[in-house]
């Protein structure tokens, strides 16, 4: 009998501190109007003392398990999608597994940038379809604030911290993921990266002096890539799912820039109410972006 992976629980975790555009006006040469016009962002959550990628993951997982009425001991696998783990070693997924009390669970960290949650969700579904696991937690989480140059107005206005989790459970009823599309294009690898701190350019006094341990971005290249790829991917998964466009109630895109989302919406020719947008409240949270939007859509009754 074919097995299907269905989402049975979900939960989010965002830091209490909110940094508004008006706050940023006091920090760098920018304005609320400039930020909103070019990005659609109005505020973002910033982690405070004691808040980390691991703590946000644990809170989100607990909420997802409570929603599904599943005990931590029943979880088979935890997948943490993040580019900002607490430490390079040990794996943040193992820390979450221990502190969550998921004593039976395997755990690994998946680094795929902003697409991390999608990769994690598809991976969880594969484990379930093969019959290896019954219950898989998938977390998309980022703590980007320590890696943002708060003197660089082109990047510091964009990013925020947060996380969200879903529990994917095995089912005999046809449900869950109907189609998917994964891909990679490393040709523009330096359009969004940390120049220093990795093994190619290890952390040093020179890296610190040149501020190469902070995130750098070429927004023009990213905009061009994102609008093209997101549109193509949505068209392909709808086609492969066997559904019609009339069947689609909501599209949940990565929340990076309102102009990217709006251009994709126009190209797809869907109504504004069919495109989930919560970018204004969180900014770009990378791997946390899509699950945060999924949780908000569920809370708002849009799914």
Label residue 200 by pLDDT band (50, 70, 90): very high
Q: Count H helices, E strands: the chain?
A: 10, 9
Catalytic residues: 114, 254, 284
The two structure tokens encoding residue 268: 């797809």
Beta carbons of 5 and 124 less than 8 angstroms apart: yes
Please state the length of the chain: 303
Residue 233 preceded by cis peptide, ω within 30? no
Mean pLDDT over the full length of the chain: 95
For 131-177, what is each residue's pLDDT tens digit?
999 999 999 999 999 999 999 988 999 999 999 999 999 999 988 99
Mean pLDDT to the nearest integer, 206-224: 88
For 75-117, what is each residue's pLDDT tens digit?
999 999 999 999 999 999 999 999 999 999 999 999 999 999 9
Label residue 222 by pLDDT band (50, 70, 90): confident
At 228 the pLDDT is: 86
Distance, in Å, from the CA atom of 2 to the CA atom of 127, rounded to the nearest integer, reads 13
Mean pLDDT to the nearest integer, 279-284: 97
Q: What is the dihedral of CA 34, 215, 122, 223, to 10 degrees?
A: 40
The two structure tokens encoding residue 118: 């999608």
Distance, in Å, from the CA atom of 167 to the CA atom of 185, rounded to the nearest integer, reads 29
Label residue 214 by pLDDT band (50, 70, 90): confident
At 241 the pLDDT is: 95
Mean pLDDT to the nearest integer, 53-82: 98
Calculate what percentage of the chain has a pLDDT beyond 90.
Answer: 86
Task: Please state the φ and ψ torsions of residue 290, each to the nearest 5 degrees.
Answer: -70, -45
Mean pLDDT to the nearest integer, 255-265: 95
What 3-state class would DSSP assign to 106?
strand
């Amino acid at each position: 009998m074919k097995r299907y992976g269905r989402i049975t629980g979900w939960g989010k975790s965002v830091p209490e501190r909110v940094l508004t555009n008006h706050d940023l006006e006091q920090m760098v040469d920018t304005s609320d109007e400039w930020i909103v016009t070019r990005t659609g962002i109005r505020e973002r959550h910033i982690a405070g003392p004691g808040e980390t990628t691991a703590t946000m993951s644990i809170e989100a997982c607990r909420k997802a398990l409570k929603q599904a009425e599943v005990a931590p001991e029943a979880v088979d696998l935890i997948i943490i999608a993040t580019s900002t783990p607490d430490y390079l070693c040990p794996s943040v997924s193992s820390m979450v597994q221990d502190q969550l009390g998921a004593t039976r669970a395997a755990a690994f960290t998946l680094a795929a940038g902003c697409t991390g949650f999608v990769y994690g969700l598809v991976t969880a579904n594969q484990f379930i379809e093969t019959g290896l696991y019954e219950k898989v937690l998938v977390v998309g989480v980022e703590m980007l604030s320590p890696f943002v140059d708060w003197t660089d107005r082109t990047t510091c206005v964009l990013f925020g911290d947060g996380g969200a989790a879903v529990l994917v459970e095995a089912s005999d009823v046809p449900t869950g993921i109907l189609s998917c599309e994964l891909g990679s294009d490393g040709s523009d690898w330096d359009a969004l990266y940390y120049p220093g701190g990795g093994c190619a350019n290890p952390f040093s006094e020179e890296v610190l002096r040149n501020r190469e341990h902070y995130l750098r971005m070429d927004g023009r290249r990213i905009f061009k890539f994102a609008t093209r790829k997101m549109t193509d991917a949505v068209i392909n998964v709808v086609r492969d799912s066997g559904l019609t466009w009339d069947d689609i109630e909501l599209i949940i895109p990565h929340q990076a820039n309102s102009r990217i989302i709006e251009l994709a919406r126009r190209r797809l020719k869907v109504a504004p109410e069919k495109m989930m947008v919560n970018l204004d409240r969180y900014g770009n949270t990378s791997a946390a972006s899509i699950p945060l939007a999924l949780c908000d859509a569920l809370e708002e009754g849009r799914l």
